[in-house]
Structure 1
Amino acid sequence: MLDDTDRRILRYYQGAPESAVADLAERAGVTPSTLTRRLERLRDQGVLRGVRGVIHWPSLGYEVEVSLRVTLDKTQARAFDDFLEAAREVPEVLEIQTFLGQVDVRLSVIARDMGHYQQLYRESLLTLPHIADIEALMHVARVKGQEALPL
């Protein structure tokens, strides 16, 4: 169970995880040793799952983002397992989500341009196993892209 101090620490930590321990402790209103101890406990409990570098992929030449909604042939016993295993191997697939309902899987895919996307779609995505139906939604704008939790 998280207390108010844990939540305060997490609020400041998620906003600037690269901050020095002393600076973060001061903002959270705790001592550096308390901050260090609590962050370690939060990591051990799986609340904090790591710090990561977030790369602005358009800066690396990826200009196209597509969301693919996939319905699988569920008459095949291993449809989900086979599809997910193969989709994980496509480097341009950034995210895979599974659902209950008409759509089984959503893939978030990036490409350098439309020509690259067309090649990727034909050679890698359409060849994924057990696809019964696929719908492509072309990304136009990211209106909100926040990962921070309201703590």
Structure 2
Amino acid sequence: MIALDDTDRAILRALAHDATQSAGALGRRLGLSQPACWRRIRRLEEAGVIAGRRLVLDLPQVGFGVTVFLGVKLAVKGRVSFEDFERAVAAIPEVQVVQHVLGLFDYRLRVRARDIADFERVLRRRVMTLPGVGQIEANVLLSEERLPGPLG
């Protein structure tokens, strides 16, 4: 863990808002030279504070119009069943996120599909046949609003 000063925090906020900014442009906004800004960004990356940069797609534009969150409760719990489930679910391309959670369900999955019929196919042929699956609850995403900032 590294100590972050106000300039580091300003860099993180700016990159969280728009990760495509150049070090030169970002430096000018923050009153730093391009090399100084680049060194700070590099230090934050090397320390693991910046774990990567990602591209956010407009999913309906690329053919994925439905997002469904699945709660999955395993029928049999244990180290082997968790590992078997995680290994199998990782092979399903429509499953974008797998979260091992505490609560009513053991896992929360985010599944992307072209439409409801495509989701039903994924659910019946792939998710319901995963090892150890007991109970499933589906919640279809109706709308989503991204919050500004690094956690949004």
Instruction: Assess same fold via TM > 0.5.
Output: yes
Deviation at 1:126, TM superposition (A): 0.4
RMSD across aligned C-alpha pairs, in angstroms? Answer: 1.5
Task: Flag the 1:76–1:14 CA change in 2: closer, same or farther, 3 A.
Answer: closer
String of CA shifts for 1:30-59, please: whole Å, max 9, x gaps.
111111111111001000111222211111
- Counterpart among 39, 60, 63 of residue 61 in structure 1: 63
Deviation at 1:76, TM superposition (A): 4.4
What does residue range 105-124 of structure 1 map to in structure 2 within 5 Å?
Answer: 105-124=107-126
Task: Provide the residue aligned with 1:134 in structure 2.
Answer: 136
Residue segments in structure 2 that go unaligned for 5+ positions in a row: none
Output the TM-score relative to the length of structure 1: 0.91
Output the TM-score relative to the length of structure 2: 0.90
Deviation at 1:101, TM superposition (A): 2.2
Runs of 4+ in 1 over 2 A off after TM superposition: 73-77, 144-150
Task: Give the whole-Å Cα distance in 2 for the aligned partners of 1:99 and 1:13.
Answer: 29
Task: Give the whole-Å Cα distance in 2 for the aligned partners of 1:12 and 1:29.
Answer: 13
Task: Provide the residue aligned with 1:31 in structure 2.
Answer: 33
Task: Give the whole-Å Cα distance in 1 for the aligned partners of 2:114 and 2:108.
Answer: 20
Task: Flag the 1:76–1:48 CA change in 2: closer, same or farther, 3 A.
Answer: closer
- Counterpart among 3, 9, 14 of residue 5 in structure 2: 3
Count of matched residue pairs = 149
Q: Secondary structure at the match of 2:139?
A: strand
Deviation at 1:90, TM superposition (A): 0.5
Q: For the Cα contact (< 8 Å) 2:17–2:148, is it kept in 1?
A: no
Task: Provide the residue aligned with 1:148 in structure 2.
Answer: 149
- Counterpart among 95, 105, 108 of residue 93 in structure 1: 95
Task: Give the whole-Å Cα distance in 2 for the aligned partners of 1:75 and 1:67.
Answer: 21
Amino acid across the alignment from 2:50: L
Residue segments in structure 1 that go unaligned for 5+ positions in a row: none
Task: Give the whole-Å Cα distance in 2 for the aligned partners of 1:63 and 1:73.
Answer: 31
